[in-house]
Amino acid sequence: MSDTITINVDGKDVQVPPRTQLIEALRGPAKTDTPAFCYHQDLKVAGNCRICLVEVEGPRGFALGISCHLQTAPGMKVRTQISSEKIVKLRKGVMEFLLVNHPLDCPICDKAGECTLQEHYMGQGKHESRLDDAVGKQYKGGADHRFLDSKGNERGGKKIDLGPSIVLDQERCIICTRCVRFMSDVAKSPQLDIAGRGDHAYLTTFPDEPLNHEYDLNTADICPVGALTGKHFRFQQRVWMLKSVESIDPSDSLGANLTIDYNMSGSEGGKVWRLMPRRNPDVNKSWIANRTRLLYQNLAVNRLTDGKKAGGDCTIEDATIAAVAALKGAKKIAIVASGHLTTEDNAAVLALAESLGGKAEVFGGSWLTVGKADGIALSGDPVANRKGVELLGIKDNLDDLVAKAKDFDVLLVAGNDLWSASAEKAAKLEVIPTRIALSAWVDATVAKATIAIGIRAWAEVRGSMVNCNGRVQLLQACPVVPNSQLEAAWSVLTALSKAAAKPLTWASEVDGWKSAQARGPAFAGMTYRSIGPMGQQVALSTTAVQPVAAGV
Ligand code: SF4
C-alpha cells in the first residue's frame, strides 16, 4: 500500500501523507506558506485563531475550513491564498480583528523579531487601520483593566507577575490558548485558563495560584506574541542580535535538543544569553525543562579558566607540564572517564591509557543518583553520555577503583566531579598521592586535586553524546568566553600523552570520533554529517536500554 495519497492544491496534484493535518501537508509537500497562531505541531488542535482558513471542496462545492483541523484524504481539493481571493480577504479580516486591540509596542517587546503576529501582518494583513481614534483600543494593559477577583486579589493590567518564571503582558495576548493547552496536555498541570468573553477575554491563573511548573518557560516560547516572557530573558537582548548553534542538554541522558544563543557584539562578545528548545519529534518534541534552559547561567560562573598546582593558581601550560611529568614518573595510573564529556573525549581517555601502556587503567561510571523520567524532556539520569561511555567499552566500576585505590600513585579524573557526587566514597581516593583533575569549573574534585587543568564547558565543544535511547547526537561549539586558551578535554588528554613514548597526534574532534568508531562497533559507518542536527540511532542490538519517551 502506498504511504502517500494525492490531493489537489490550487489546481496542482500533490503527494501527501494520508490522515495528516492539512496545514502540515500544505506547509510541507505542497510548499504553500500557511499561517497559524493557535496551531502548534506538538499541541492538540484548538482551531480558534482562524488564520489558516482555506477552501476545501465538499458535496456542496468549495467551503471554508481551517487547515489545522482538517485531515488529508484522497482526492481532496484545496484552494489557498494562491488561487482564492476569498482566502486572501478573509485572512486580512482575521488579522484586522487580531490587531484591533493589540498594542503597537514592538520596539520595546521582547518578541519583536520572532513574533508571529508581526510576520503574518506582512504576509496576510497589510490592511489599513480603520480604528476610530475617538474609540481607541481596548487596551488591557491599562489601569482600568485591573480589578479585584472574587477573593479580593488584584488582577489584570500590565506586567502581571504570574509566578517565579513568567511575566504576562495581558494586552498583547491574542487568546490563542497555546499556553493553556501546553499546561494541561504536556505539563499535565492545568495552571492557566481563559476567563471572560469576547474582547474582554483574558488569560489568567486560578485565584491565588501562581504559574509554577518545571516546564512553564516553554509557554513563553510558544506564545506567538510577546504576552508571556521569561523573567530570565526579559529585556536582556534583541533577538536579531543573537547567533545560534545547535546542541543538546548536557545535564540529562535524554539529551533534549536545544540551541545556544549568544551575542558576538559588545564588551561581552560571545556571551550566551539563552538556551531554546530545538524541535526533535523523536527526542524532546519542542520542549525543555526550566532547569535545562537555565544551564547557560553557569557558563560564566566559577569557571576554572587556568591551571592549579598544589592548590595555587598557575597557567594551563604549567599545569600541563606538571601533569605530564607526574604521568611519566608514575608506576600505576588510574584514569577516570566521564559520562558528562563527549564520546570523543572518552575515546581520548582510552587512547591516552593505551599510549601509556600497561601502567594505566581506565575506570568509568558515576555516583550520582538516577531519578525517574518525566515523560517530557528529562530521563532522570544526570549522566548525559552514560550510554556513549558504555558503547566505548568503558565499565561502570568506580567502586573497584575505590577498593584498590592504594595500588595507584596517580589519579587522572577527566570532567567527572567525583567528590561532589559522593564525598564519602571519593575521600578514599585521597590515598593516591598525585590527583590530576580536568574540569571546566572549580568544583569539589578540583579542590582535592594536586594538579588541575581548565577545559572547555559543554557549550564550547564540538562532539557527540549518545542518549539513553541509543541516539547519537551532536554538540556544536559557541565561543569560549572565559578564556580563549581553554581546550576541549580530548585536546588536553592528547597533550598529556607527551608522557608516553608515542604521543597522540589528534588534530581535531574528528580524530576523536574516528578513534571512537574504532573502539565502538555501534558507531560504524556514522559520520558527523550522517548524525546531523537530528541525531542518528545506533543499531538496536547494541543498546540494552528502556526507551524514554518524549511528552505527548
Ligand atoms: S498568552 Fe500567548 S500563548 Fe497564551 S493565549 Fe495569549 S497569545 Fe496565546
Residues 228, 182: contact at Cβ < 8 Å? no
CA gap 544, 443 in Å, rounded: 32
CA gap 285, 320 in Å, rounded: 42
Q: How far is the CA of 248 from the centre of ligand 1 (A)?
A: 27
CA gap 528, 540 in Å, rounded: 19
Expressed in percent and rounded to 5, the helix, strand and coil fractions of the chain are: 30, 20, 50
Q: How far is the CA of 218 from the centre of ligand 1 (A)?
A: 12
Residue in 51, 179, 181 to alter for ligand 1 test, most ligand atoms within 8 A of Cβ: 179
Q: How confident is the model at residue 545 (pLDDT cuts 50, 70, 90)?
A: very low
Q: How confident is the model at residue 107 (pLDDT cuts 50, 70, 90)?
A: very high
The atom number, within ligand 1, closest to the CA of 182 reads: 3
The whole-chain average pLDDT of the chain stands at 94
Q: What is the pLDDT of residues 126-138, one digit of tens each?
A: 888 888 888 777 7
Residues 327, 412: contact at Cβ < 8 Å? yes
Residue nearest to atom 8 of ligand 1 (CA): 176
Q: How far is the CA of 176 from the centre of ligand 1 (A)?
A: 5
Which DSSP letter does residue 550 get?
P
Residues with CB under 6 A from ligand 1: 173-179, 203, 223-225, 227-228
Q: How far is the CA of 232 from the centre of ligand 1 (A)?
A: 19
Q: How far is the CA of 37 from the centre of ligand 1 (A)?
A: 9
Residues 151, 207: contact at Cβ < 8 Å? yes
**Measured over all CA atoms, what is the biggest interatomic distance in the chain, rounded to whole angstroms?**
89
**Strand arrangement of the beta sheet that strand 160-161 belongs to:** 160-161, 166-168, 228-230
- State residue 32 phi and psi, 5-degree precision: -115, 115
* Confidence (pLDDT) at 541: 60
Q: How far is the CA of 552 from the centre of ligand 1 (A)?
A: 20
Q: Does residue 544 carry a pLDDT above 50?
A: no
- Amino acid code (one letter) for 426: A
CA angle (68 as vertex; 67, 70 as ends), nearest 5: 60
Q: Does residue 145 carry a pLDDT above 80?
A: no
The set of cell numbers assigned to 415 is 570532567
- Amino acid code (one letter) for 425: K
Alpha-carbon distance values, 89 to 37, 196, 281, 416 (Å):
18, 29, 35, 61
Which residues does residue 277 pair with via DSSP β-bridges, in sequence order?
258
Q: How far is the CA of 173 from the centre of ligand 1 (A)?
A: 5
Q: Does residue 11 carry a pLDDT above 80?
A: yes
Residue in 114, 223, 229 to alter for ligand 1 test, most ligand atoms within 8 A of Cβ: 223
Q: Does residue 66 carry a pLDDT above 70?
A: yes
- State residue 424 phi and psi, 5-degree precision: -65, -50
Pairing of strands 192-195, 243-248: unpaired
Residue nearest to atom 6 of ligand 1 (CA): 173
Pairing of strands 166-168, 160-161: antiparallel
Q: Does residue 141 carry a pLDDT above 80?
A: no
Average pLDDT over residues 113-129: 90
Residues 83, 8: contact at Cβ < 8 Å? no
* Confidence (pLDDT) at 104: 86
- Amino acid code (one letter) for 370: V
Q: Where is 85: in which H helix or E strand?
A: helix 85-100
Alpha-carbon distance values, 347 to 358, 364, 410, 431 (Å):
17, 12, 20, 27
